[in-house]
A and B are shown apart, each in its own frame.
Chain A
Amino acid sequence: MPSADVVVIGAGLAGLSAAIAAAESGARVLVLAKGHAATHWGPGGIDVAGIPAALTPREGIRRLADQPGHPYAILGDDVAAAIGWLLPHLAAGGVDYVGDLDTPLQLAPTSIGGTRRAAILPAGQAAALSPWAPGERLVVCGIAGFKDFWPEAISASLSRERIWEGGNRPASVSPVSATLPGLAARHNLNALEIARRFDDPTWRGAAIEAIARAIASAPGSGGRVALPAVLGLREHAAVLAAMRQRLPAVPFEMPLVPPSVPGLRLYAALRAAVVRAGGRVQVGEMIERVESDGRNVTAVVSAAAARSYVVRTGALVLATGGIAGGGLLAERDGRLREPILGLPVEAPAADDWLAVDAFDPAGHPLERAGIRTDAELRPVAEDGTPVFDNVRVAGSLLAGQRSIGERCGDGVALTSGWRAARSLAAVPAGHAAAPGSERP
């Protein structure tokens, strides 16, 4: 039976942050995940607290921390430190981020012609955030044959004042389309295929020329150009640098429907950081159950070919996601279940599931469902006492947050992952460190 000091279940931002931090502290770390999800679906930014009432992420954190039961009530003070810790890891993996907790939240235009509040974005998207100068134009440049990005529709929508909430916005928005070498005849183009082509320096050169010509056909000069988020996968930094140099407008990427190229870059950088720190990541592991001695989880069991794969462990970080990620399952009887440890789930009564308008700005009651923990992120029973001593819960599985509506999901994920690992490292030998010492 293989063994680890810390097993992390889940390979999203929370799980991988926990894995990096635990491996850095010297633990033997194994990440088990059933597949890829949040990173590959999301826009690749780090949303900390994009609520309308707050001017900066820091203010947003403070406001959310005041909500009873919000994860920021126990994590809020650590968000800055966790981001400060993670960003250098991502930069080492070739993904630079711009912004911090005191950067004013701005409205970044999106690829469906809306806007979203953001402050910390990957370098490729960050040019969307600076305030629009008087007279500054925005060109939206599509790629002929690519159906996940419609410059006409995006431009038409972004030309409406109310999309920008009546505030600072570009003076004009105009659509153009570039015909890139070898793509126009394809019917099945996805973002990833185009991104991989951008990695090739020769193709990239010709493509950038075509984009420069398309931008030149738009009225006005200078300003910024929004492009679909396909600007290279492994060579993104080089693509961005070449574009900044050659294009007549400052380029930025708009995230698209999955597969998300910025998300793939983020995942690659996170995974590389886990491996650099000495941890391992195994995807394709369907966790069946855990073994425990009542107070501590002692082994994690996944469904391998023919037999169960049993990993003995000193500690467990549960970062399996919320309802969308499969960390919580909805039963037909109107109950939510946490399938791996059978933890108590804090959830609204079944009647409330259907009681509200799906687009109610206050959110849907189910969004806040999740696992309640103590300040050490240990899952607790209804009376507030920890259910397990060596288990920590991280990410969107935590109760009390509206990770999308409050745009706090990334901040909660990375801070709780980081904190979970630090909390486990503080557990005295005899629990978390014991299995490692048995090995030669």
Chain B
Amino acid sequence: MTIAELVMSASEAAVGYSSDECLKCNVCVTVCPVARVTDLFPGPKYVGPQAQRFRTGRAQPVQVAGIRIPLSPDVTVDYCSGCGWCTTACPAGVKIAEMNSQSRARMKAGKRPRLRDWGLGQTDLVGQLGVLFSPISNWALANRPIRAIMQTTIGIHREAPFPKFGRRTFQSISKRRQRRRGTAAVPGPDRAVVYFHGCSANYYEQHLADAAIAILKRNGFETIIPEQVCCGLPLISNGIYTEARGRAHKNLDVLARYARQGYRIVGTSTSCTHTIKAEYREMLDIHDEDAAVVANATWDICEFLLDLHEQGKLDTGFGRLDEDLPYHAPCQLRSHGIGLPAMELFALVPGLRAADMDHDCCGIAGTYGMKKEKYPIGMAVGAPLFEKIRASGATEAACDSETCRWQIEKATGTRTRHPIEILLAAYRVADAVDRAGREPLAAAGA
């Protein structure tokens, strides 16, 4: 074991030492959406590989000859939104975004997190309470004076997008359905998948979970909905790794049982699925067999549907949707490295004119754009995207990630849906045409 490994975890060393590959070529700086709009963030190279050589790898600041050496030589790393574009563009393979996330966590380790940052990470707690008191919580979040107080006291920007809490969690809806149906035998992994709904579908967008169930069923897959908690990404983004590891282990315990039986895990939140695929291992340093088995079994839902299509197994009986559809690919989707599966699926829908907005980031970056001091940055990052969507004149837009959808909807007033909701609408058009075609015949026959 090297000295570095004594003070750093294995993945911290792997990420941290990737800075040795840095050529200082500044390519990362050219693609950074945050550096594009603000002087507060000097860019990924400066706070990442450039600052890395000064980092001690210790958990606490040290005193050297009476001088306090801080954990990060550049505290502006907190202005990194974690979008990951820098890592994507680096020609030398430096893990810049990951390095920045880790040094932010180091910076915050040992200190009590800000109430706001801690709270933004507690998606389950906030979700449970929000749903429990949904009439009150939805009223409060729409109430301007209350939002102004929230901005001053806890630092969540008054204009930041917040979705409405549902009246029940999707977990409880699904349990009630299961009780009603009774215990039927679960089909095998060739005819069923595990659905990872994530916090958004559990607390806010129950209709999305229903859309996932419907679209999977249409393609021959029953849906298994096991107990699950937040994937942990909001905690990772806010530098609270220890709690994030707790969430990860809870999910892995449940999901690994299914993955070992050959079930695939399909998610509608592209950031959750990326967290399970990559960040449990790369960021949270969980390297047991469960993490590997689950990562391998996890699919983003559009990736899953496109895979079915490539095997000739997707029901392509889509009805006609005669509309323009601006599409935004979330940053987390790019980190999957799977291209834009939603765009390929849209191409199968007759009449649908889907257009990739080809913009780097909407600015919300999970919880980044909700924070008082970062909200204006997020809005500036997303501004060209909002402008393009407004200019398209479309009545709805599509995006795979929930926080991006909320941000786009809030900024543009354009209804923004998950790609599978669009696909489901196309199936329903086909069904309606079928019924319309059958009914006169049935009437004539009678």
Contact surface of A with B, Cβ cutoff 8 Å: 1-3, 30, 34-37, 40-41, 186, 188, 190, 192-193, 196, 258-259, 264, 275, 280, 282-286, 302-307, 309, 325-326, 440
Contact = CB atoms under 8 A, between A and B. Distances in A.
Contacts of A35: 27, 88-93
Interface stretch (B63-71, B218-226, B247-255, B334-342): B334-342
A325 B93 CA distance: 12
Given A282-B339, A305-B335, A259 B27 contact: yes
B278 A306 contact: yes
Nearest to B307: A1
Given A304-B336, A306-B278, A34 B93 contact: yes
Specify the main secondary structure of chain A where it touches its partner.
Answer: loop
Q: List 5 A-B pairs, minimum CB-CB distance, nearest first.
A: A284-B88, A304-B337, A306-B277, A35-B91, A37-B91
B29 interface: yes
A36 B338 contact: no
Contacts of B39: 186, 193
Nearest to A186: B39
5 contacts: A34-B91, A35-B88, A258-B26, A259-B29, A305-B295
Contact of B337 (A186, A188, A190, A303): A303
Contacts of B341: 2
A305 B277 contact: yes
Interface string B29-52: 111000110010011001000000
A197 B339 CA distance: 32
Specify the main secondary structure of chain B where it touches its partner.
Answer: helix
Given A3-B310, A306-B295, A284 B337 contact: yes
Contact of A305 (B31, B337, B340, B344): B337
Interface of B: 25-27, 29-31, 35-36, 39, 42-43, 46, 87-93, 274, 277-278, 295-296, 298, 306-307, 310, 316, 334-341, 344, 348, 358
Contacts of A303: 337
Given A40-B27, A306-B277, A2 B339 contact: yes
Given A40-B25, A305-B336, A283 B89 contact: yes
B295 A284 contact: no
A147 to B, nearest CB: 13
A88 B389 CA distance: 29
A192 B30 CA distance: 7
Given A36-B27, A259-B26, A305 B278 contact: yes
Contact of A37 (B27, B46, B278): B27
A285 B90 CA distance: 11
Contacts of A3: 310
Contacts of B93: 34-35, 286
Contacts of A34: 91, 93
A62 B275 CA distance: 55
A30 B274 CA distance: 23
Contacts of A309: 337-339
Given A286-B93, A302-B337, A36 B42 contact: no
B154 to A, nearest CB: 31
B264 to A, nearest CB: 11
B310 A1 contact: yes
B335 A36 contact: no
A36 B87 CA distance: 11
Contact of B30 (A259, A275, A282, A440): A259
A309 B338 CA distance: 6
B262 to A, nearest CB: 15
Contacts of B88: 35, 283-284
Given A34-B93, A283-B89, A41 B25 contact: yes
Nearest to B282: A305
Residue from the set B91, B274, B295, B334 with the largest chain A CB neighbour count within 10 Å: B91
Nearest to A303: B337
A225 B339 CA distance: 45
Contacts of A440: 316, 348
Contacts of B307: 1
Residue from the set B335, B339, B344 with the largest chain A CB neighbour count within 10 Å: B339
Given A2-B310, A259-B27, A282-B339, 20 more contacts: A2-B306, A30-B339, A35-B27, A35-B93, A37-B27, A40-B25, A40-B26, A188-B43, A193-B39, A196-B36, A259-B25, A280-B339, A280-B340, A283-B88, A284-B335, A285-B337, A286-B93, A305-B337, A306-B295, A307-B296
